[in-house]
Chains A and B, each alone.
Chain A
Amino acid sequence: MSPSLKRLCVTSCLLISSVVHAENAPNAEQIMQQARDRHDGHSFISQVSLILHDKQGNSRVRDFTYLQKDYADSDKFSMFFSSPSDVRNVAFHIENPHEALKQEDSQWMYLPISRQTRRISTTDKRGAFMGSDYTYADLDKIRVNDYRQTLVGEETLQGRDCYVIEREPASPAILTKTGYNKLKVWIDKQNHLVMQQNFYDVKDVLIKQMRTKEVSTIDGIDSITLSETEHFIDGTRSEMRFTDLRYNVLLEDRLFTQSALRRGLKASDVSALQTSAR
């Protein structure tokens, strides 16, 4: 075989193998879609402890009950804070329309002191969620089309094989809304959980990292039970620990309304849940 023919054969083999490989491996967008659409039941309830660590090493814990329910056009979340006293009875309600609808989400906060429910703008989601290192943007359900994503590699994290994807805002509005110029996300190949996420600010500086510290299988669903976010610039760290986590619970629609925020989550609601059918 002449050298040029040999070269041609090698090139052809490489091309064919790369096409085959590309057909097998999902692209970045597909991976993000899989992460967004992963099976996590139609409803969900959990007790959550939000633990805030300051740079001096002091900690504060804020406890709340977290409810989620899927609707035909959206996912709805409600959060009811129970302790400590300075946040007791504060409640949030968030409605995330499905991405295909291309609608903005909505967010309400109940202020127990003045007994007011206030809608909070979602054009800026940089605010610290209850003073933690998680912003409202971090707690959002994944929106694939808000970003341009690139699969940059594969890595093993905590013994789990992950895709590594870089995401850049698709528009200046997204950058303004989240404050992130870039995200780097590690997605578990098996269960499509986000195992780690790096956050880059508008200067492209890595400012914080969210890490999945514990994953448990509950009701057959792999679930994050301990997440941690470390802010590198502020020197602070926040943890979110999920306990009493249950899926596919019968959650009444009235718990996902603005008026539910005012009413709060009663013990009777919770006891009813304990006996409710799955």
Chain B
Amino acid sequence: MERYLDFVERYAKALLLLLFAITAYFTYALGSLTSDTNPYLLKDTHPARKTIIDLQQEFTGTFDSVMVSLHNPQGVFNRTSLNALYALSQAARLVVLSNEQDAQQLANLLAKHPADQQAQQLFADIQAEGLSQNDYRQLQALRDHAHAQAWHPQDRQFLDFLTERVNPIREMASMGDLENILLSQDGEILIHKTLRAYDMNPAEVESEIMNNELMLNGVISTDKTVALLVAELGTKQDDAQAQLRAYQIFRKIVADYQAEHPEFTDEVFIAGMPIFIGAQQEIIDHDLAVLFPVVFLLITALLLVFFRKTLGVVLPLTNIMLCTLWTLGCMALLDVPIDLLTSVLPVFLFTICCSDAVHVMAEYYEQKKAGLNNREANRETMRLMAMPVVLTTMTTIATFVISTMTNIVSIRNFGIFMSVGLAVALLISLILIPAWISLWGRDSKSQAAAASKPSLISVALVSLCGRLIARRKLALLVLLPLMAVATVLTFNVKIEDSGIAYFKEDSAIRISDEFINRHVAGTAPGWIAIDSKKPRGVLDVEVVAFIDKLDQFLRAQPDISYGYSLATYVKRMNLVLNDMQPAYLRVPGPRETIRSRDDDGQIEQFEVDGNDLIAQHVMLFENGGGSDLTNVLNADYSKALTLFTMTSSVASDYQSLLDRLDVWLAENKPAHLEITHAGTPVIWTGVLQEITRGQVLSFTLAMLVVGGMMMFWLRSVRLGLLGMLTLLCTSVSLYAGMYLFDIELNIGTALVTFLVVGVVDYAVHLLSRIKRYVEHGQAIDAAILSAMHSVGRSTIVNVVIFSVGFLALLFSDYKPIIDLGMLVALALLISGIMTILVITLVAPWFFAAVRPLNAPNEVVLSPAGNLVSEG
């Protein structure tokens, strides 16, 4: 310790210079910090996401979509609305999501491989006429080449993204895009797009669209007032940038059309994944711009109130400012983007990392009050505080490291960079504070006057603890049942993810989403893949009948608004081939009686196999011009896909549907079929399960690790257990609070667990100080009061700083972050209270084994806690 203090004093200037030089470097690196609004919180290898990615290889219509809906209260079957829909459909097909920035990045990328002739040739082809949709093939070849040559993963990812960006539109669905199956007056089978040109007769379009279950509630509302256009984007799910561009481009397409056609006055709503991502980007931008200044002001104000000293404000602020810049700079250097969760990292870093500096500074002022000069106060502070600060920080880091044992990428990144930030803050505080004080610590005069004045907080705390000690049994009688009730409530906390509902009610995304969900196909698509395991295996009466039954089951479920499947097409073809007789809007039976005219014009009647009839319907649809079959059938007809859209964005609604679906499938599924679920419901319930799993796993591990560390530090199993007990009491109180205030555990509030367990400063500082007093001869209750007197103030200061600092999150635009702000403030407040309460009430039992040390001289402790020899 002394060598470290000597070193810091001797090289104070050089160390400070080094710190600021590193900070300058990280600040420079910040320029390349990117943001990621990918809403899929799980990695693409997670089963919940992989299923849909796999299905995308075999089926069309399975990608994320932009949804544009037109609303005309008088009905959309008028020339103006139909022309607008047709124009938007035509324009949407031509969308390209690559831009000049991509072209430049591609050029930069190829400059890294000047000797790669194949790559350079492909690049020359691409460059010849600028980046366009027609470069899709060359980019595919370049992408495959890059993978084969094992180029840098980021470059490969860029090429993966770019290939899809140049030709992003896969499928379209609208009155102008979906294939309709009809029978003309003279018996001709028509399989065509209904809205095929400008200025079509609205009555003709209406007659072809309405009463067709392929269209109703999908691309047209039953009341005819809302028409929907869906543009499916082939872009990679993780390419949030492309989705964001899609949102901007679609907004422009709509705005341009409205400007050019003032007669078109329908309301237009845009929803779907791109707008979701766009809205998230706005939140990230908002939070980065607002939360950081707010937390800076709050912390500065608090430091001013508590310390009223220049150093007391400047040093903690400099410390946390440096650690924040280092951490964000580190993210930039490692190409880790800022996302919805990590956008609040500055608030966390500012608030939590402030703690070490506050403890050190508080101790420094205590030492000065005790009459030590600057240098001695500085050295004594470091002697007393270095190890507790290291321990508490290491414990907090450990919990955040444990938090990375989740499959939720945002939480993992958050945990990693919180750990980095905490480590950096510790390092900086152990260098910056002693070095700075040794150079410029000049608060001695004002301290001398204040030295004898005990702090009001300390006095109040000692008084409160004294009363608790006097009524220990009564307090325990109240506390224990309360903790029991809190434990029960803990297991009833709602785990949820509410998706769109987290956005503000007046936000464009929420308005659009709710509008579309109220009128037409829902914005949350789900798919059920049915695998027969053999080619042509799904062209079977039993299978198609099962799929039809599944459709009916799905349509009867709450929150499901629309769907289609192989059965929908087969039924429609059956209807058309039976001259639109309503009785034939059904799946063919195992044996069907057919009536037909023979060569002589005579009616003949014969029986056919239902399977053959289904195969014929599919073939006729395919040959009649229908290409939409690839939405429901794979290439060898071994698999079929059923789509359903949900109008809810709440994960528990998804879970509830999937639970009911599983029960239904267990009763109804033919044994030889294999079923796979995919899409939004699966992804979000996957997120929910990951949150739950992560919480249980992380909490258990964190408790064990933190407990172990406290046992090690306090050199006592009992005291370690006491520390764990304070954490447990805090946790159950917090979860009970969440239950009582109806705060759900979601992607944002899940972070609070790590804070509750990880921020052990209060317990560690208090327990180590009590132990110290007991070991030096004080009775346990006296030691508790002495400890409260010496470290109680900094504990309270910390509680207030934590609580108030996290209130900055209330300025976020995103509900989970706002909830998190309230919850963390509440959690840290509870943590402070529970630590003081639990330790004061039960410490005698846990300290029973702690014996005074056999010191050669009589030793007493100064109020500041340092040893004073009287020998």
Q: Please give the residue numbers on chain A whose beta carbons come within 8 Å of chain B beta carbons, in ascending order.
A: 54-55, 58, 86-87, 90, 109, 111-116, 118-121, 123-131, 136, 172-173, 176, 200, 202-206, 232-233, 236, 259, 262-263
Contacts and interface: CB of A to CB of B under 8 A. Distances in A.
Interface in B170-197: 184, 186-193, 196-197
B613 A114 contact: yes
A205 B636 contact: no
Contacts of B190: 121, 123-124
A154 B689 CA distance: 63
A262 B599 contact: yes
A221 B186 CA distance: 40
B858 to A, nearest CB: 87
A114 B578 CA distance: 10
B613 A205 contact: no
B197 A173 contact: yes
B33 interface: no
A121 B624 contact: yes
Given A118-B187, A119-B189, A126 B625 contact: yes
Contacts of B627: 126-128
A118 B625 CA distance: 14
Interface stretch (B75-83, B129-137, B383-391, B507-515): B129-137
Nearest to B592: A114
Nearest to B623: A127
Contact of A120 (B137, B186, B615, B624): B624
B623 to A, nearest CB: 5
16 contacts: A86-B619, A111-B620, A113-B616, A116-B577, A118-B187, A123-B190, A123-B196, A124-B193, A127-B627, A130-B622, A131-B619, A173-B197, A204-B133, A206-B137, A232-B136, A263-B599
B93 A109 contact: no
A263 B600 CA distance: 12
B613 A127 contact: no
Contact of B608 (A86, A113, A202, A233): A113
A259 B596 CA distance: 13
A233 B187 CA distance: 35
Contact of B604 (A115, A123, A205): A115
A111 B614 CA distance: 12
B421 interface: no
A176 B197 contact: yes
B616 A111 contact: yes
A123 B192 CA distance: 8
Contacts of A129: 623
A140 B90 CA distance: 26
A205 B167 contact: yes
Contact of A116 (B94, B536, B596): B596
B615 A86 contact: yes
Contact of A114 (B189, B598, B599, B616): B616
Nearest to A176: B196
Contacts of B604: 115
Contacts of B609: 113
Nearest to B599: A259
B606 interface: yes
7 closest cross-chain pairs (CB), A and B: A127-B625, A124-B192, A124-B625, A121-B190, A119-B188, A113-B616, A115-B596
A121 B133 contact: no
A202 B93 contact: yes
A170 B104 CA distance: 37
A254 to B, nearest CB: 11
Contacts of B613: 113-114
Contacts of B625: 120-121, 124-127, 136
B415 to A, nearest CB: 41
B612 interface: yes
B594 A127 contact: no
A263 B137 CA distance: 46
Contact of B636 (A58, A109, A111): A58
B626 interface: yes
B608 to A, nearest CB: 5
Contacts of A263: 599
B254 interface: no
Contact of B620 (A109, A124, A172, A236): A109
Contacts of A121: 184, 188-192, 624-625
B635 interface: yes
Contact of B606 (A115, A118, A124): A115
A172 to B, nearest CB: 6
A114 B595 CA distance: 8
B358 interface: no
Nearest to A259: B599
A127 B191 contact: yes
B636 A127 contact: no
Contacts of B188: 118-121
Interface of B: 90, 93-94, 133-134, 136-137, 167, 169, 184, 186-193, 196-197, 536, 577, 594, 596, 598-599, 604, 606, 608-609, 612-613, 615-616, 619-620, 622-627, 635-636
Contacts of B577: 111, 114, 116, 118
Contacts of B596: 114-116
Contacts of A126: 625, 627
A205 B616 contact: no
Contacts of A131: 619, 622
B622 A128 contact: yes
Contacts of B191: 120-121, 124, 127
A202 B624 CA distance: 20
Nearest to A205: B133
A202 to B, nearest CB: 5
B142 to A, nearest CB: 14
B445 to A, nearest CB: 78
Contact of B137 (A127, A130, A136, A232): A232
A258 to B, nearest CB: 11
Nearest to A130: B623
A47 B800 CA distance: 88
Given A86-B615, A205-B167, A236-B635, 10 more contacts: A90-B619, A111-B577, A113-B616, A121-B191, A127-B625, A127-B626, A128-B627, A202-B94, A203-B94, A203-B167
Given A58-B636, A114-B608, A116-B577, A176 B133 contact: no
Contacts of A118: 187-189, 577, 620
Contact of B622 (A119, A127, A205, A206): A127
B261 to A, nearest CB: 18
Given A54-B636, A58-B636, A119-B188, A204 B623 contact: no
A121 B188 CA distance: 6
B346 to A, nearest CB: 43
B599 A206 contact: no
A206 B125 CA distance: 14
Contacts of A202: 90, 93-94
B695 to A, nearest CB: 42
Given A127-B624, A203-B94, A113 B134 contact: no
B136 A176 contact: no
A131 B193 CA distance: 19
Q: Considering residues A55, A86, A114, which has the most beta carbons from chain B within 10 angstroms of its beta carbon?
A: A114
A84 B94 CA distance: 40
Nearest to A86: B615
Contacts of A172: 197
Contacts of A203: 93-94, 133, 167, 169
A120 B93 contact: no
Contacts of B192: 121, 123-124
Nearest to A172: B197
Contacts of B197: 172-173, 176
Q: Considering residues B186, B190, B609, which has the most beta carbons from chain A within 10 angstroms of its beta carbon?
A: B190
Nearest to B168: A203
A176 B193 contact: yes
Contacts of B133: 203-205
B163 to A, nearest CB: 12
A211 to B, nearest CB: 15
A204 B134 contact: yes
B189 A86 contact: no
